[in-house]
Structure 1
Amino acid sequence: MSPLAAEPPPRSPDRSATSKLPYVIFQRTPDGPYWVRFSIRGEGQIRRPLETRDPTLAEQLALEAYVESKHRAKSGLRSRARTFSRVAEEFITQLRREAERKERRQFQVDQWRRIVERYFVSFFAERAIDGIIDADIHRYREWRKDYWTIGPGKDVQIIPYMRGGRQIRRPITARMRKPPSPSALRSEFVVLRLLFRFAAQQGYIKTAQVPEIHLTRVPANARPSFEAHEFTRLEQVSLERLTDAKINDHVRRDRAVLHAYCMIAALSGCRPTELKNLNWSDVLGYRECRSMPIDERDVRLRVRGKGKNRVFVPMLAAVSWFDILWNFWLKAAGREPGDDDPVFATPTGKRLGSVKKSLSELLRAAGLLTDHRGARRTAYSFRHFYISQQLIAGVDVFLLAKNAGTSSDMIERFYGQVKLERMAKELRPEWRKQ
């Protein structure tokens, strides 16, 4: 008996039993294309379109579909190969669930989603994920390096993305039109490797089919910081700009806030994001000891950034600069700042955004925009200055790492040269003549 049949009504018996074949070929409409239906242990009933109206060809395609599905099932795979884009969609959904359960940081999920959608899906698209091999990964690597220069991104002018429920349009700058840095490329390939491992966990590919994704080791590179004499110069230039008779009160206030920002950053080691998120309730013990001498103020900072939070001890010299910011708030608002008010605020009481532009002007005025290698200094340079100075002063690496919210390994990798300076006496022993 031919397995061809019209699709039975929902309550009719399965015709596979009468056809003696493990699958049934049917049409959903009298003149429509043929479909095949069969069952796979662990997956239930499978229905697939055969995309033909020719009954002879339909029988051939149905047999091929059934045999292929059974073979994949015996190999431990799903009955039908998943496309890369479908797996990528499921991967992102899984990441979102993990973020909802607080198993993963939301900002990381958002960042990974943009990488997956812009780069991975654009390249692999509808390829069957179990058909992607090592050579495809190599071709992707080269394609990604050229993306913003001669690749698909060369004509892109605006990148839209969501932030706080609002769509933001970010223009592509000339600085962005370059190959990704080794560290950026490494970070993206970490995500790609996680995606393939997810596919293996879901049974879409076997573990042996996960392509080899080499993570190029990024060489340790000293961060752009300040020498002690350079920071002293920056501080002097900043104060001189504050006393400039040609500026108005509004500009003077902005420069004073920037000066306080630089000093607190350099004397606490805070990350820029941590400073931006800082509220007055996070300056622990400040309200109670405002009237006390500086050297008696036992202030701690509670900061949030990079999806983490910590409480740490700043240098005592940082405390007085909080007084400046407190007084600015009093003058502008006519009241003391509340616990939820931002430490770094605009005259209207809103949280201060990026200081990139104003800081660049200050660094340029001091002749310190770049370090001796030509690396551009940023707000992060104050954190590196803090860590360097603490190492030179002999602070234990483990304690410093805990206070700065990093690892001792990171300090060893990126600040090793500073440790050499700290050990200068040990490196100059008295040699004895034999």
Structure 2
Amino acid sequence: MKVEAASFAKVAEDYIKLLENEVERGERAAYHGKSVPAFIRRYLIAFFGDKDIDAISGRDIQAYLEWRKAYWLTGSGKDITEIRYERNGRSIRRPLAEKRMPTVSRQRGELVVLRQIFRQGVKWGYLNCGQVPEISLDRAKAPNNRPSFSPEEFQRLVSASLQRLSDADIHEHLRWDRTILHAQLMIAAYSGMRPTELKNLNWGDVLDYRLGRNKPLGQRDIKLRVHGKAKSRTFVAQEAALTWFDILWQFWTEQIGRESADSDPVFATRSGQRLGSTRNALSQLLKCCDLVADYRGVRRTLYSFRHFYISQQLAHGVDVFALARNTGTSSSMIDKFYGQVSNERMKDHLRPVWSEH
């Protein structure tokens, strides 16, 4: 039985208070109290506003989805140039990154929050289960593969990046930024780490690194312990990644004036803080070597280096089940999304020596 009519905005604000209380009690991760309220207010409350929550229909949900897709391109956010938010009682302004339509993955994640608001509204008696509209995306056909690099494109990118960071005329601050970016890309390409895993990586997660620092490269080995939002795993990377860990260690020691502690971030700013997004810097580098998009016109991102790693491993005969465990995914996902490993690149494996018997 419903208690009373309530607007969507009221239920959403009450949900935000519940969320913040759960974060304070340690029942939810801290990021829920930062990103989710901002999303709810910017998009959901802005669209549904004072409309009674029990009057919102499936047609309203579809209208919202179209409004959300257009928000930053032609809609309400097209003229916004910066994001403003509060942190520790201070008003912070952050320049807005590249404006684009939300990915399918992001849309699905946002709809999870919308469903939770409706479910909580049912618990509070503002509507009954039969009044909750269908909240889902139309099933879109998944792409056959994901934007990666061919080996030749990857080498072109590496050469361009090294040339940019070794430029004698650039400021040392910019040299630091470009070196950290290059190291990030190399480690991603030779480890298959996800962007979130790269960001969260601490020196204590580079297992056995300290033990081998003074040994020749061929006698050293490391394992990486990585953390995403909800999962963690320990895996091995290609030996080529190790050199770039050494460079990051050296940069930290020279800049900060001490060796890195286990809790210090591997990818850091000059002040020792955890590195934020490198999307803009990567976009500039990709533009320099005409590699912004792949042959289908799909834009490349930091994730493309993970795709490159998986493609390279497949092309060199690594068992798909072992590769799936190492990269924290499933063999079916690898089979579904990494079709860009062409027959030409697999030709040695497709031409075994046949026995006469």
Which whole-Å CA distance do the structure 2 matches of 1:421 and 1:198 have between them? 54
Q: Please state how far the C-alpha of 1:215 moved relative to its aligned partner.
A: 2.1
Report the CA distance between 1:272 and its aligned residue. Answer: 2.9
Residue in 1 aligned with 2:327?
Answer: 404
Selected match of 2:117 from 176, 195, 198: 195
How far did residue 193 of structure 1 move? Answer: 2.4
Query: Displacement, 1:103?
Result: 4.9
Distance 1:419 1:104 in 2: 44
Shift of residue 241, structure 1, vs aligned partner? 4.1
Moved more, 293-302 or 106-115: 106-115
Any stretches of 5+ residues in structure 2 without a counterpart?
353-357
TM-score, normalization: structure 1? 0.69
1:271 to partner: Cα distance: 2.5
One of 365, 372, 383 as aligned partner of 2:306: 383
How far the C-alpha of 1:84 sits from its partner, in A, is 1.7
Residues 368 and 104 of structure 1, relative CA distance in 2, 3 Å threshold: same
Q: What is the DSSP-based 3-state SS (H/G/I as helix, E as strand, rest coil) of the residue aligned with 1:136?
A: helix
Q: Secondary structure at the match of 1:303?
A: strand
Counterpart selection for 1:211 from 118, 130, 133: 133
Name the residue aligned to 1:273.
196
Q: Which amino acid aligns with 2:247?
A: I
Q: State yes or no: 1:316 paired with 2:239.
A: yes
Within-5 A mapping of 1:48-87: 77-87=1-11
Instruction: Work out the CA distance in 1 between the residues paired with 2:77 and 2:270.
Output: 40
Identity among equivalent positions (%) equals 54
Q: Offset of 1:309 from its aligned partner?
A: 3.4
1:201-231 CA-to-partner distances (Å, cap 9, x unmatched) read 3332221221122322243233321111221
Question: What is the SS of the residue equivalent to 2:43?
Answer: helix
Pair 1:127 & 2:51 matched: yes
How many Å separate the matches in 1 of 2:153 and 2:42? 41
Rate the CA distance shift 1:202–1:321 in 2: closer, same or farther, 3 A: same
Indicate yes or no: 2:118 matched with 1:161. Answer: no
CA distance in 2, matches of 1:253, 1:94: 43
TM-score scaled by structure 2? 0.81
SS at match of 1:231: helix
Residue 288 of structure 1 deviates from its aligned partner by 0.8
Instruction: After TM superposition, give the deviation of residue 244 of structure 1 in Å.
Output: 4.5
1: CA distance between counterparts of 2:54 and 2:83? 31
Corresponding residue SS for 2:34: helix
CA RMSD, Structure 1 to Structure 2 (Å): 3.4
**Larger Rg: 1 or 2?**
1
Could you say if the C-alpha distance between residues 415 and 209 of structure 1 is closer, same or farther in structure 2, counting changes exceeding 3 Å?
A: same
Aligned to 2:210: 287
**How far apart are residue 179 of structure 1 and its match?**
5.1
Report the residue type matching 1:84 in the other structure. F
2:355 maps to none
Note the C-alpha offset of 1:278. Answer: 2.5
The residue matched to 2:225 in structure 1 has which SS? strand
For the 8 Å contact 1:133–1:211, the answer to whether it is kept is yes
Cα separation, partners in 2 of 1:225 and 1:154, compared to 1, 3 Å = closer
Distance 2:74 2:249 in 1: 51
Aligned AA for 1:220?
Answer: A
> 1:267 offset after TM fit, Å?
0.8
Provide the secondary structure at the position in 2 that maps to 1:418.
coil
The alignment partner of 2:341 has SS state of helix
Partner of 1:115: 39
Residues 415 and 139 of structure 1, relative CA distance in 2, 3 Å threshold:
same
More off after superposition, 161-170 vs 315-324: 161-170
What displacement does 1:243 show? 4.9
Q: Would the alpha carbon gap of residues 117 and 420 (structure 1) be closer, same or farther in structure 2, given more than 3 Å must change?
A: farther
Per the alignment, residue 265 of structure 2 pairs with 342
Aligned amino acid, residue 214 of structure 1: S
Give the counterpart letter for 1:304 in structure 2.
Answer: H
Residue 299 of structure 1 deviates from its aligned partner by: 0.9
Task: Give the 3 Å change call, closer, same or farther, for CA 88–266 of structure 1 in structure 2.
Answer: same
Asked if 2 retains the 8 angstrom alpha-carbon contact of 1:83 and 1:128, the reply is yes
Counterpart residue type for residue 161 of structure 1: Y
